[in-house]
């Protein structure tokens, strides 16, 4: 099946975080591709990837980056597909720099910014599936089933000492 979600990241060093987006997509049965695309080190590739994304059949792009995290915003400038930005923890500032770089977009070019790190990557996968679920009943059902199971697992172990 052709990928429906592009999971891209500024460096291979982002993979341990961004992998959590792909694990969620896998769990929900959404096809995806993964690529290293750097705003600073491979700017031509960034433009090519973003401009071709829609015609290649992608429906959502998840972009993770750390530090001076320009990748999500620059991708969003080149495509009207929804772009979900994941701030990756940086060594110097723990990801606060990444978060602010991604979230503070100028009005008129939208990036949906998630939480810093693993939770953000996981939720980016989930949100991508929810976006696709607006027009794909099977994916919507997979999201609903995931949430039902999540609720059940919390209710089944109400005592934290029994975890
Ligand atoms: C960013 O710089 C990447 O997204 C990564 O989070 C950060 C550090 O990259 P490496 O020096 O580890 O390749 O562009």
What ipTM does the predicted assembly reach? 0.97
Nearest to 74 by CA among 119, 120, 106, 118: 106
Reported as a single tens digit per residue, the pLDDT across 13-42 is 999 999 999 999 999 999 999 999 999 999
Reported as a single tens digit per residue, the pLDDT across 122-156 is 999 999 999 999 999 999 999 999 999 999 999 99
Q: Which residues line ligand 1 (CB under 6 A)?
A: 9-11, 13-14, 38, 65-67, 88
User: Whole-angstrom Cα distance, residue 70 to residue 128?
Assistant: 20
Tell how strand 83-88 and strand 60-66 pair up. parallel
pTM over 0.90: yes
- Phi and psi torsions of 64, nearest 5°: -115, 140
- Is a pLDDT exceeding 90 seen at residue 1? no
Strands (E), 72-143: 83-88, 112-113
Q: Is 11 annotated as a binding residue?
A: yes
Which architecture characterizes domain 5-162 according to CATH?
A: 3-Layer(aba) Sandwich (3.40)
**Other CB atoms within 10 Å distance of the CB of residue 157:** 10
- Is a pLDDT exceeding 90 seen at residue 162? no
């Amino acid at each position: 099946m052709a990928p429906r979600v592009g999971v891209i990241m500024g460096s291979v060093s982002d993979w341990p975080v961004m992998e959590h987006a792909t694990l969620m997509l896998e769990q929900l049965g959404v096809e995806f591709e993964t690529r290293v695309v750097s705003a600073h080190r491979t700017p031509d590739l960034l433009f090519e990837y973003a401009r071709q994304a829609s015609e290649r059949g992608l429906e959502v792009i998840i972009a993770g980056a750390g530090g001076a995290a320009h990748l999500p915003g620059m991708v969003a400038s080149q495509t009207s597909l929804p772009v979900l930005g994941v701030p990756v923890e940086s060594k110097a500032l723990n990801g606060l720099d990444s978060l602010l770089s991604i979230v503070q977009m100028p009005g008129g070019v939208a990036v949906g910014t998630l939480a810093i790190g693993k939770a953000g990557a996981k939720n980016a996968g989930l949100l991508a599936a929810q976006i696709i679920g607006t027009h794909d009943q099977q994916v919507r059902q997979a999201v609903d089933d995931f949430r039902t199971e999540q609720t059940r697992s919390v209710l089944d172990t109400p005592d934290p000492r029994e975890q």
